Amino acid sequence: MKGMIGHIRPMTKQDAAAVAVLHESRINPGFLSSLGCRFLKHLYAGIASSSSGFGFVWEESDGTVHGFIACAEDITRLYKQVLFRQGIPMIFSLGCVFFRKSIIKDVWDTLRYPNALSANLPRAEILAFAVSPKVSIPGIGHILAKTALLEFGKRRIDNVKLAVGAENVRVNRYWQHVGFECVLTVNQHGWKTNIHVLKGLTDMKKMDTL
């Protein structure tokens, strides 16, 4: 997908700082955004270096990252791997804030969230997805989404879920247009959140229609 304007490529550990800035500025409000860029940088470094995580970035011709999507093959296993590799730096990045009861509770809720949902939901998940308004051409978000979904299929993962704030009508509609179905609404960090599921990712004919 290379071109004169930019290209999509796999997310690496070296992209963590740029991805953190995008997350904080574009995924807002959100609990993880509230923890700041330093925390997010360590989080994405852990995801990029994990065997259970992967992602893609849109890189402009000048080397600037203006979009990303981050994914997990198995969200519980990914969290364990990220904590093993980046847990201490993540805690230090929060400083004294980490020891506030509200933060500890929200971190705990985030870690237990996969197991708190229905056991029938997929373990694979799209974790985060953002595109800068400075991106040079339209449609990059859709290309990133399709690239990630195709990668799930290549990894023999048939079903995937994602969480979207219930009040974000535009984003909910986008994922439903792609083929996701809202199967559950939960309260997460004080916000109503829709859980969407897409099935049949290993069906290449179906994926070609996205």
Say which CATH number the domain at 132 has.
Answer: 3.40.630.30
Global confidence as pTM: 0.86
| pLDDT average, residue stretch 169-197 | 90
Q: Is position 16 within any domain?
A: yes
Which residues have CB under 8 Å from 111's CB, separation 6+?
Answer: 79
Residue 103 has pLDDT above 60, yes or no: no
Task: Please say whether the beta carbons of 193 and 162 come within 8 A.
Answer: no
Task: Please say whether the beta carbons of 129 and 141 come within 8 A.
Answer: yes
Which residue range(s) make up the domain with 87? 6-207
Q: Residue 101, Cα to own-chain centre: how many angstroms?
A: 26
Q: What is the pLDDT of residue 102?
A: 55
> Picking from 24-28, 93-97, 108-112, 190-194, which range would have the lowest pLDDT averaged per residue?
108-112
| pLDDT average, residue stretch 46-66 | 95
Q: Is position 113 within any domain?
A: yes
How many domains, in total, are found in the chain? 1
